């Protein structure tokens, strides 16, 4: 296992971290974790050098922390830093901070959490917990020894990310969605580099975009690029290596669902040489993989945003992004979740609010028939029943 600098701390973290969001489950029920298998997987990772495990209050319908706590028995607590998160969106009053932290300490069955994160911050979530004085509360909890250091995970734009970074001098880590397809999305490379410049450890989540960059077999245009590459690697390894190649990243989390994935990911981490290992030909291959994925997008939208504001309040770029991603990665279930789910598009901003006024047609530099594509996108994405996130793929049958 390779180890990397972890921000301002005098401690080295394994290049690969264990994300406890996609543990193996029984019968497709995300609340019913296959505990013996999950514990076996976590301990195998720890025995092979992984020293960081990441959970959260909401993962697996509240069951992830319980299983992580069991996995850390029998001496494994000493092998791994334990991380969990305060769900910012669920906070209704300041008293919720103590209640939730107390529940988490009990579930994990630990006296102290190593790193405690404000979970999934966006502008609204950050404003809410900030106004409840979460930073002062956190300082008191650290002084009492309930958790070691404070960080946050993030889903919003760079300006919000920078605002959060600059609001507190003692952040130890920032957890961001970052992969070669999302290099310019959310916190973006700019945010990753800004956090690193402040000596804040950058923890990468969704390095495989929820497994979409690791599909076997890959889409035909991607498969062609992989076949023609000078260095022969599977898509999953290219995705990990793109992140590990950057010295500004400290840790790459993987939400592993099978022992096979644990074993493979450990092998990938072991054989990568470290930051700067990828050569010009390798980076060109990754660029071609990205272009191959993008060639599968049906709508040639560049997100220039000239089409907004829409007079009917339709979030045109967001609708197109969700639809393009669903088609590009052949995952309409995830597209429906992103469109209709709890963090999806507001009803008054969905594509069906389009009145065919055609004002957007005059503004679009790509000459996209926006009303027509909005109709197609809504037809494909809309669901009038609750839509949850897609479950991890089932494990491969044993031979």
Give the tens place of pLDDT for each residue, 268-316.
Answer: 999 999 999 999 999 999 999 999 999 999 999 988 999 999 999 999 9
- Looking at the predicted structure, is the pLDDT value of residue 388 above 60? no
What are the DSSP calls for 182-202, one per residue?
STTSTTHHHHHHHHHHTT-EE
Instruction: Tell me: do 30 and 151 sit in the same domain.
Output: yes
- Looking at the predicted structure, is the pLDDT value of residue 215 above 80? yes
What are the DSSP calls for 20-84, one per residue?
TTS--EETTEEEEE-HHHHHHHHHHHHHTT--EEE--TTGGGGTHHHHHHHHTTTTGGGT-EEEE
Cβ within 8 Å of residue 246, ≥6 positions away: 192, 275
Answer yes or no: is 292 within a domain.
Answer: no
- Looking at the predicted structure, is the pLDDT value of residue 391 above 80? no
**How much is the average pLDDT of 96-109?**
97
pLDDT of the residue at 89: 87
Instruction: Tell me: do 139 and 194 sit in the same domain.
Output: yes
pLDDT of the residue at 392: 54
Instruction: Tell me: do 232 and 93 sit in the same domain.
Output: yes
The CATH number linked to 126 is: 3.20.20.100
Instruction: Tell me: do 277 and 327 sit in the same domain.
Output: no
Instruction: Tell me: do 329 and 196 sit in the same domain.
Output: no
pLDDT of the residue at 101: 98
User: Reduced to 3 states, what is the DSSP secondary structure of residue 105?
Assistant: helix
Give the tens place of pLDDT for each residue, 30-71.
Answer: 999 999 999 999 999 999 999 999 999 999 999 999 999 999
264 is in which domain, residue-wise? 3-287
Q: How many domains does the chain have?
A: 2
Instruction: Tell me: do 283 and 376 sit in the same domain.
Output: no
Answer yes or no: is 171 within a domain.
Answer: yes
- Looking at the predicted structure, is the pLDDT value of residue 370 above 80? yes
């Amino acid at each position: 296992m390779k180890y990397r600098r972890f921000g301002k701390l005098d401690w080295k973290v394994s290049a690969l971290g264990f994300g406890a969001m996609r543990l193996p489950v029984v019968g497709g029920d995300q609340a019913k974790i296959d505990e013996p298998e999950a514990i076996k997987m976590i301990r195998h990772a720890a025995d092979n050098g992984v020293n960081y495990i990441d959970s959260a209050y909401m993962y697996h319908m509240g069951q992830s922390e319980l299983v992580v706590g069991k996995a850390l028995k029998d001496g494994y607590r000493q092998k791994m830093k334990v991380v969990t998160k305060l769900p910012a969106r669920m906070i209704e009053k300041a008293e919720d901070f103590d209640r939730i932290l107390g529940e988490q300490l009990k579930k994990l069955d630990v006296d102290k959490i190593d790193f405690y994160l404000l979970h999934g911050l966006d502008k609204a979530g950050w404003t809410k917990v900030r106004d409840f004085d979460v930073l002062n509360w956190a300082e008191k909890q650290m002084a009492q020894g309930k958790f070691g250091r404070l960080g946050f995970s993030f889903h919003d734009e760079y300006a919000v990310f920078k605002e959060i970074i600059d609001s507190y001098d003692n952040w130890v880590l920032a957890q961001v969605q970052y992969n070669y397809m999302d290099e310019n999305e959310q916190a973006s490379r700019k945010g990753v580099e800004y956090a690193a410049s402040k000596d804040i450890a950058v923890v990468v989540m969704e390095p495989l975009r929820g497994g979409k960059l690791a599909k076997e077999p890959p889409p035909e245009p991607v498969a062609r690029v992989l076949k023609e590459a000078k260095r022969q690697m599977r898509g999953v390894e290219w995705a990990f290596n793109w992140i590990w190649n950057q010295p500004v990243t400290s840790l790459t989390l993987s939400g592993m669902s099978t022992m096979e994935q644990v074993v493979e990911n450990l092998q990938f981490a072991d054989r990568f040489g470290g930051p700067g290992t990828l050569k010009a030909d390798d980076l060109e291959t990754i660029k071609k993989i990205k272009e191959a994925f993008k060639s599968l997008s049906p709508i040639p939208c560049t997100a220039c945003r000239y089409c907004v504001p829409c007079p009917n309040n339709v979030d045109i770029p967001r609708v197109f992004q969700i639809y393009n991603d669903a088609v590009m990665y052949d995952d309409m279930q995830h597209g429906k979740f992103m469109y209709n789910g709890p963090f999806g598009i507001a009803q008054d901003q969905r594509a069906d609010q389009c009145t065919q006024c055609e004002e957007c047609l005059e503004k679009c530099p790509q000459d996209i028939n926006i009303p027509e594509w909005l109709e197609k996108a809504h037809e494909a994405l809309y669901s009038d029943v609750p839509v949850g996130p897609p479950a991890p793929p089932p494990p491969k049958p044993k031979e």
